[in-house]
Structure 1
């Protein structure tokens, strides 16, 4: 059963931002802005599922932003944000497996919800009806008043003691916040915490993050670009890994290459199924993660892996990546042999690799080459493979920790 869901509100039109494209779909570091927050929420171990509330006209834009992410089917929003949240909460209550106990309601225009902040919210829900991230106001506050030529004048100083800047996601026990939304339907309140307060719910304040800002203007988008370029915003970094593997020919009438059986005059000799392509890819992923090599994780002396399907090795490396909050940018493997011919099986191999790792097939490249009759592959004594993996991971801190 799903226990905790992140509900991302992305049905707005972003009129203040300007332009024909809603701001949540504007490009940030080459990807839709919404994609950045979705991948952070989906990667958090305390969040079981993510659902996005979208405008009905934006389905194609949403599909691009959510590509490669395993999310719940989106639902349609309403005329106002409050309507969209209520509809989203209703959709969660109707999930086939039963309603989740907790929900985190997040603005799709906040691309950088940090993992530590999310954890603080979830912990606060253990003892409160709700919790919101907030930052204490530190600047002196002034109330403006009308001035000549449309220029406001400085008015009274407003005491800042006890004042906080509220952020999202705002976390609640689902049934409590859903009941509040229905009881106060039609009232214009500024955020979900305001409804919770009116309903008498106890809402805790937890420490927010400066980087968890809302993109409202072009200047905000430029700020987000600078943060990503400098490794900030709970920053992301690109990692590259390489892998290489060799197996010799032996008795048999087929070989396993990149998860696909290929008819041949010989088989390949190995402790597992001797799939050189998947072995090289597994090592490439492990290398990019700094997680050793395939032999450390699956020792050839261990009888458990005798004749094993190498898809399990690649899936294991993929699970290590997911646990680190990372994603695959692309994979590329080259099979080196005179025979068998790889071309007729190339697309099946790409599809198999993509399926094992749960990524789009467009992120997988499979190539083949010969050595022009030179070396052991040229003498048709075996097959070699080399692979490269490009990953995106949370940026490591100064001590190397993620």
Structure 2
């Protein structure tokens, strides 16, 4: 193992130069933390190949691989922080949970889940953004043949094992009553956030840029959703920038008893910032339950498959825009819960090229992405399911 660590140390800086210093290709779709993790995975893979150690998609990894990745990532963080041009980043605990992944894979293999139709060596692709993986494989030399690439998001502890288990559990609970408890349970599995107090208050915000994660039609639907939601969650707003939000937050917190709620200016440009200010998670999950109950009511009266798909997408967009969790909203709602609803309604699994489109694209545009995702998921399947509505 010492020899392998030395090999990683020797090639790590070279691999970091390949990923961190790119000004195009992956820099615009892969964040700095993921690029550091990618550098570590590339260095480990390069070292193993030099020692003629081949990792297999079909067999458990040999002992010591996870420890080697932890070492490589830790060294990559140190190297990155020595560069005065970069903002220092704190070390993160790396847990790939290789044994857990093997257990999950075996359970899927013996289940009746649609995931069992996905080739085991490709199931990880159901957990990560194809847009990101494609950019990495096209722009980083050797990444396409790196068996460790599936862990590129695991600078967030147990990302792959969490989402894979979330998908597996979601497929096991297709008959479970649909409510916010189910959604919350899937989130806890995906993100390993167990026992969060409903009274926990947190601020959440995420931005949209026209032509990137927002379209013209999506912008209109997004702002209409905000106006609707503010009837019950007045601290939920859309503004153009942090300065506008700070002004609103100050007015909101300083208003006198009985005074009307402040109204923020509606965004008019190509930037939208969606924010909610210190709302209790329990309150957000209550709102999620309202969305789910409304969804079930309209589904009870809908038989047309296309219309049922519209309702599925509408619910997932509402939940994703609500952002009921402190972290991991997209992986829980757009990767796991969306597929749960599709399969629950007799439709195939989907693999969205960029799950973030649920936030700022229109419903019809997202439906198109879901259908494209059916074809994308089918290419990794033993028996592609093409029975979905067209």
Q: Which TM-score band applies after superposition, normalised by the shorter structure?
A: under 0.3
Greater gyration radius: 1
> Is the strand fraction higher in 1 or 2?
1
With normalisation by structure 2, the TM-score equals: 0.24
> Is the helix fraction higher in 1 or 2?
2
Identify the structure with bigger relative contact order (alpha carbons < 8 Å, sequence gap 6+). Answer: 2
